[in-house]
Amino acid sequence: MIFTVAIDGPAAAGKGTISRAVAAHFGFAHLDTGALYRAVGVKGGDPVAAAQTLTPEDLARDDLRTLEAGQAASRVAVIPEVRAALFDFQRRFARAEGGAVLDGRDIGTVICPEAEVKLYVTASPEVRAHRRWLELGGDAAEVLAQVKDRDARDMGRADAPLRPAADAVEIDTSELSIEEAVARAIEVVRARLA
Ligand code: CDP
Ligand code: CDP
């Protein structure tokens, strides 16, 4: 069976948490596409060359989840040649036999416009920044500023900007527990599979 669940949305909305839970529930593979851009951002050197030569070791670095890596990712993510270099890998993953969940910014709009399920997971900037601060600590005002800065860059870029696909189901997690958010996502996928 070929079945793609595309999960897009801004930083710290809960995309990864929902994606992992949906993939585990249905036995689908999961790809965190943000990790690809984070790995390119922290690798240094020419970002296009970094994207073209990404290795499993690059994706296993333990510094990928830092605030700095997030900022570096969003700076290389505006470069069309970087996005192009990462396209085929994501596309093949999405349409591989057995079902796949991919989370990122452009999965439902660019990588897999024909995805069987598209979710747009969002939450207020304040809630998202607070969640990131709980994970990473640091100065709370600085974390909020970085979240807003990254949102603006991701939504404002010319190539593959972050926006909900026309046929995406929106899940605002601002007032939802993880369990509630996951249950909504599973229900949307279950209804489409039936
Ligand atoms: O992948 P993305 O950056 O969108 O978010 P995440 O890493 O899945 O979630 C960010 C943080 O928010 C994690 O620490 C989650 O445990 C927490 N969280 C959530 O995902 N959903 C909620 N409804 C409440 C909290
Ligand atoms: O976990 P969080 O939502 O904070 O970020 P992420 O999903 O790891 O993505 C890091 C950055 O990579 C984003 O801010 C985007 O600039 C970029 N990205 C993208 O352009 N397209 C994707 N499909 C995934 C990430």
| H-state helical runs in the chain | 15-26, 33-43, 47-52, 56-59, 67-76, 80-94, 125-136, 140-156, 178-193
For 76-90, what is the mean pLDDT?
A: 98
Q: Is 121 helix (H, G, I), strand (E, B) or coil?
A: strand
Q: Which residues pair with 102 in a beta bridge?
A: 6, 31
What pLDDT was estimated at residue 52?
98
Report the CATH number at residue 140. 3.40.50.300
Structurally, how many domains does the chain consist of?
Answer: 1
Q: Is 12 annotated as a binding residue?
A: yes
CA 193 to chain centre: 23
Alpha carbons 86 and 68: distance in angstroms, whole number: 21
What pLDDT was estimated at residue 163?
98
Residue list, ligand 2 pocket, CB within 6 Å: 11-12, 16, 33-34, 37-38, 70, 73-74, 77, 104-106, 150, 154
Alpha carbons 64 and 49: distance in angstroms, whole number: 18
What pLDDT was estimated at residue 155?
98
For 63-92, what is the mean pLDDT?
A: 97
Q: What is the mean pLDDT of the chain?
A: 97
Range of the domain at 111: 4-193
User: Which bound ligand lies closest to the C-alpha atom of 180?
Assistant: 1
How far does residue 184's CA lie from ligand 2's centre (Å)? 23
What pLDDT was estimated at residue 45?
94
User: Given ligand 1 and candidates 8, 17, 101, 103, which is best to mutate, with the most ligand atoms within 8 Å of its CB?
Assistant: 17
What pLDDT was estimated at residue 5?
99
Report the atom number in ligand 1 closest to the C-alpha of 34. Answer: 1
Q: Is 77 annotated as a binding residue?
A: no
pTM of structure: 0.97
How far does residue 42's CA lie from ligand 2's centre (Å)? 13
What pLDDT was estimated at residue 4?
98
